[in-house]
Amino acid sequence: MSGSTPYIQVLDIEQTLTELNEMVSRLRQERDDLEIALTTAVEHGDAIEEQLETANRQLQNEVRERRTIERQLRDLVATITQKSRDLEVVLQTITEHADQIDLHWLQRYIESETSARQDPLTGLANRRMLDEAMEREWSRARRQGQPLAMLMCDVDHFKPYNDRYGHQAGDECLCRLAELFQDLLHREGDLVARYGGEEFVVLLPNTDEIGALRVAQGIQDALRNLDLGHEDTPQGRLTLSIGLAALVPDHDDRSTLLAEVDRRLYLAKQQGRDRIVHAADHNNNSREDINDSGSRADQGNPARP
C-alpha–C-alpha distance, residues 289 and 283, integer Å: 16
Question: Which helix (H) or strand (E) element contains residue 265?
Answer: helix 255-270
Q: Is the pLDDT of residue 2 over 90?
A: no
CA distances from 220 to 37, 227, 304 (A): 86, 11, 10
CA-nearest of 54, 50, 64, 49 to 30 is: 54
> Which pLDDT belongs to residue 159?
95
Condensed to tens digits (0 to 9), the pLDDT of residues 142-184 reads: 999 999 999 999 999 999 999 999 999 999 999 999 999 999 9
Least confident stretch, 42-56, 164-178, 190-204, 286-300:
286-300
C-alpha–C-alpha distance, residues 242 and 108, integer Å: 37
Question: Which helix (H) or strand (E) element contains residue 27?
Answer: helix 5-44
Q: Is the pLDDT of residue 258 over 80?
A: yes
Question: Which range, 15-24, 44-53, 103-112, 168-177, is most confident?
Answer: 168-177
Confidence of residue 287 (pLDDT cuts 50, 70, 90): very low
Torsion of CA 48, 52, 57, 60, to 10 degrees: 170
> Which pLDDT belongs to residue 18?
78
In sequence order, which residues have a C-beta less than 8 Å from that of residue 65 and are 6 or more positions away? 23
Confidence of residue 6 (pLDDT cuts 50, 70, 90): low
Catalytic residues, by residue number, are 198
Q: Is the pLDDT of residue 302 over 70?
A: no
3-state secondary structure of 240: strand
C-alpha–C-alpha distance, residues 154 and 199, integer Å: 5
Confidence of residue 283 (pLDDT cuts 50, 70, 90): very low
